Chain A
């Protein structure tokens, strides 16, 4: 029987391996969105973030807010990436944290919807043709104007990460931009 470890983890030619084995993984990197329900108490976010930094996991995006009627629980939405083995580890390591109540790997358990909020400030010359173009594009993306001066707009728009990034890229072509983003929030579909 071919060994799964041998097939999943290959050491490159430059590394003979050792007691401290250094892994060159040729496994695919997956992106996962996880919803982590935690007790709303001081330090809980530091625990989660410390776990990620301490164990070398990636955080692509992280949001946190209280979600229950009595403010006793918070939901942390984390977008992370890694090999399937690392993703499994992240989930299991999160589960070990005492104030963590439950974890949903939405990517795995799907289907789910995710959204991000971006506020984009675009500065153009007053009365320039770009200014009209900015407004037209924003309309196509469904972005709402939340502030304006003669030389600038601030748009608020929501969508999935791709859409938000497309919009920001577009605005960058049309003027000087300043961006604030909420990070991803996500929830499972249906009941």
Chain B
């Protein structure tokens, strides 16, 4: 379609966003994007959320994208605006989150001149984006923006940067509609190969000790894919574990769910992964936090791996049956083939024995912790939070560290898109801005950022954003006055020499909240927890809840350095001892 009316570049940007169905942009103005901000000022279709730091803008877009399934949009200025966004972009790349980040740039004739607030944005962001563009000609502008959205959401999603020189924003540009734009060279596969599907169903049918290992790819494929996954797992009756990124893809309350796997996963999930004879990996990527020691990873397993990205296949672990395609499509194909073979012979006796073995492992109660009536155990705080919020449609984000692992272990996710955490990059400071993004996409819903005091302080300026835009998120700080995970590793691996891991000079979080116009609450004792949580949930304002927890608590179970899945450290309260220990050599390797 030809141009509607003559528009300049800035107006084209806004028109493109509108035609892409964008409702909200997270951004921060500056010299190189002023024309776009002028265009934003003159319209009311696209909402703008003014952030306090560009990193926060990208995390907000991530939270928005992960909870709504839409593309998150960021608008920042040139130079420092773009460089500040880099952490968020890398985070989105690692976790496969669809983001379009529009960056201002100095006018084309000044590029390469070391102009004020100039940086080589496409150069800097090339390795931390799925793709990026520098718009050099007005005629390319609309096409490139639409293409950016296409690339961001198509195939394995990811962040895309569009760098917009200021003269392009002023220039008269032709407009094209989104439907007319499609990159010719980017063609990710969607359907799995039939032969592979048949072979996979053969393998699954004959399995004696099978396990489903699901990841964030299922969430990315959408709620329909999660339902297909859940239905298929239930149809087989096989046990299912999920990665940190995959929580919510299968209901946590289901008997077939073994909990999260990996470094701080449950005993039963990791033991089952180690001992299984058939593993079906769905939208997961055999990350090093999942596999532990590679040469001892699932030594007896035949592995089926479904992924949309061929580069995920055989990257860390060689698999037997790779199936490349969209998880939703492939699960549909698998279910169809599975259903057709009603009369197959199955290893019912062995499967029964497998479940008995799993129940044995489960009975170790690996998440047990020592209760205390004086000091709040972080696990207890989360159990109470779970109990007091489970009737609501609650969205959880986290920062990164011990609290993140406890949240993954103790909160129950029944539905997809309700759990937003920085998995791949492990970005401290992710949770608060992500929560704001979630709240933007889900007004009226309860959004809680499970935080540590150290992570929270990395992006706490965004409390101001929350108050300004009436985004009543709840920051639930498990305050142990330490960089907790660092402290735990130092205790276990570095002889208790707590080098620089004490969070000294902490602010009074209650007063801090009040200074922003938010509500501050504090719980010092287990008996105060319920009241604090209830008030936090009820009050219609941004809340910082400072939960003063046991500073010495560690996250268990734990697969220590250099160990395989079946050698875990269990906590002091679990039944029986784990067989894991940290070797001298393991200490060297993180």
CB-contact partner of B559 in A19, A38, A101, under 8 A: A19
Q: What is the distance, in angstroms, from B285's C-beta to the closest C-beta of chain A?
A: 12
Q: A6-B296, A43-B122 are in contact. Are A17 and B589 (CB under 8 A)?
A: yes
**Complex CA–CA separation, A130 to B583 (angstroms):** 65
A46 near B123 (CB under 8 angstroms)? yes
Q: Which residues of B are found within 8 Å of A14, using beta-carbon distances?
A: 585
Assess whether A110 is interfacial by the CB under 8 Å rule.
Answer: no
Please tell me which stretch of B314-322, B421-429, B502-510, B572-580 contacts chain A, meaning at least 4 of its Cβ atoms lie within 8 angstroms of it: B314-322
**Complex CA–CA separation, A20 to B585 (angstroms):** 13
Q: Which residues of B are found within 8 Å of A17, using beta-carbon distances?
A: 293-296, 562, 589
**Per-residue interface assignment for chain A, residues 1 to 45, with 1 indicating a CB less than 8 Å from any chain B CB and 0 otherwise:** 101111011110011111111110000000000000011001100
| Identity of the chain B residue whose Cβ is nearest the Cβ of A2 in the assembled complex | B299
| Identity of the chain B residue whose Cβ is nearest the Cβ of A53 in the assembled complex | B127
Assess whether A95 is interfacial by the CB under 8 Å rule.
Answer: yes
Q: Which residues of B are found within 8 Å of A20, using beta-carbon distances?
A: 288, 589-590
Q: What is the distance, in angstroms, from A151's C-beta to the closest C-beta of chain B?
A: 42
Q: Which residues of A are found within 8 Å of B585, using beta-carbon distances?
A: 14-16
**Per-residue interface assignment for chain A, residues 59 to 102, with 1 indicating a CB less than 8 Å from any chain B CB and 0 otherwise:** 00000000000000000000000000100110011011111110
Interface size class of A (residues with CB under 8 A): 35 or more
Q: A11-B295, A54-B127, A92-B310 are in contact. Are A85 and B589 (CB under 8 A)?
A: no
| Identity of the chain B residue whose Cβ is nearest the Cβ of A1 in the assembled complex | B300
Assess whether B166 is interfacial by the CB under 8 Å rule.
Answer: no
Q: Which residues of A are found within 8 Å of B315, using beta-carbon distances?
A: 85, 89
A3 near B294 (CB under 8 angstroms)? no
Assess whether A115 is interfacial by the CB under 8 Å rule.
Answer: no
Assess whether A172 is interfacial by the CB under 8 Å rule.
Answer: no
Assess whether A142 is interfacial by the CB under 8 Å rule.
Answer: no
Q: What is the distance, in angstroms, from B357's C-beta to the closest C-beta of chain A?
A: 19
B185 near A98 (CB under 8 angstroms)? yes
CB-contact partner of B185 in A11, A23, A50, A99, under 8 A: A99
Which 9 pairs from chain A and chain B are nearest by CB? A18-B589, A92-B311, A16-B562, A16-B585, A17-B293, A98-B131, A18-B561, A101-B185, A92-B310
29 sample A-B contacts, Cβ–Cβ < 8 Å, listed by A number = A3-B298, A3-B301, A4-B318, A5-B294, A5-B297, A5-B318, A16-B293, A16-B562, A17-B295, A17-B562, A18-B561, A18-B586, A18-B590, A19-B561, A21-B288, A22-B589, A47-B126, A50-B126, A54-B127, A88-B314, A89-B311, A92-B310, A92-B311, A95-B311, A96-B310, A98-B130, A98-B151, A101-B184, A101-B185
